[in-house]
Chain A
Amino acid sequence: MSAQSSTPAATEVRAFDSVSVGDALPARTVHVDRARLVQYAGASLDRNRIHWDERFAKEVGLPDVIAHGMFTMGSAVTLVTDWAGDAGRVVEYGVRFTKPVVVPYETGADIEVSGVVKAADPETKRVTVELTATAGGEKVLGRALAVVLLD
């Protein structure tokens, strides 16, 4: 598999014929800190205090501030959109949130994201990628499947 630029050119959609089941996508590490969670809270309008207010998070029984599940879901899929060459090619995307990503004040957290091609349908040119996302050695997403339509 060739290296993929993080900013694909205008028409650089991956060719279906270049993809095989079992192909691994380039893995990446997503770093998340409190500033990023505040940024996501504003952008997404999800202002739940457990994602930025440590005192509140602990009062409701959490170990610390936790990342929005939707932040993890949204940042993980960039692996797929960059690989596909166009963010508009994602036709289906679903995940289960299996563990929260705990985001300590001092260090933040690293989410390790990888992906592998699970299915490729030549009729429809739809490719199914299974994503794995871990933080602190624990899987934070389960059954994370993205379906992309390639050329």
Chain B
Amino acid sequence: MPVNADFQGRVYPPTETYRVSAAKIREFAEAVGSSDPVHVDAEVARVRGYADVIAPPTFAVLIAQQCDAQLISDPEAGIDFSRVVHGEQRFTHHRPLTAGDAVVGTLHVDTVREAGGHAMVTTRTELATEQGEAVCTATSTIVIRGGE
């Protein structure tokens, strides 16, 4: 089934709030091997000027992929998840994600295109606090491998 090109340009409503916890930050930092104490020691984080422990630079993917699921799980989009490969990922941090943040994500489908028998979909998730402060822009390109 081809990927539905009509989805290009689509913007989804903001997601439910994701609450960033110190426990999840610690778990994520340990999993990627980030030993900076700023992920686990609130006192270190405060000395450096943060309100609480902060997340590693790629933590935002956890929230962004939940936003992407709105597109990927939509049958009308025509995305076969078993054929999806992650092609590209980018983050622009306006400030670090911090324990205690209440974050909503707004998913934008920037491009849907075909190349060499594969489909490529680029999405952009804008993460902001419930109060509207921009925190992170996460851009992802997935490749949906063509049929054999």
Contact = CB atoms under 8 A, between A and B. Distances in A.
B61 A44 contact: yes
A90 B57 contact: yes
Interface string B1-35: 00000000000000000000000100110111111
A90 B35 contact: no
* Contact residues of A: prevailing secondary structure: mixed
A77 interface: yes
Interface footprint category on A: 35 or more
Contacts of B96: 87-88
Nearest to A56: B82
A74 B27 CA distance: 13
B86 A7 contact: no
A82 B91 contact: no
B58 A74 contact: yes
A6 B86 contact: no
Given A88-B50, A88-B96, A93 B66 contact: no
A73 B38 contact: no
Contacts of B62: 44-46
Interface string B54-75: 1011100110011000000000
Contacts of B38: 86-88
Contact of A87 (B57, B87, B91): B57
A40 B54 contact: no
Candidate in A8, A39, A87, A92 with the most chain B CB atoms within 10 angstroms: A87
B39 interface: yes
B48 A11 contact: yes
A94 B139 CA distance: 9
A81 B27 contact: no
B37 A7 contact: yes
22 contacts: A8-B37, A10-B43, A10-B48, A11-B48, A30-B33, A39-B30, A40-B31, A42-B27, A43-B28, A43-B32, A69-B89, A70-B61, A70-B86, A70-B89, A71-B31, A74-B34, A77-B58, A78-B35, A86-B48, A87-B36, A90-B91, A95-B90
Interface of A: 6-8, 10-11, 13, 30, 36, 39-40, 42-46, 60, 69-71, 73-75, 77-78, 81-82, 86-88, 90-97, 146
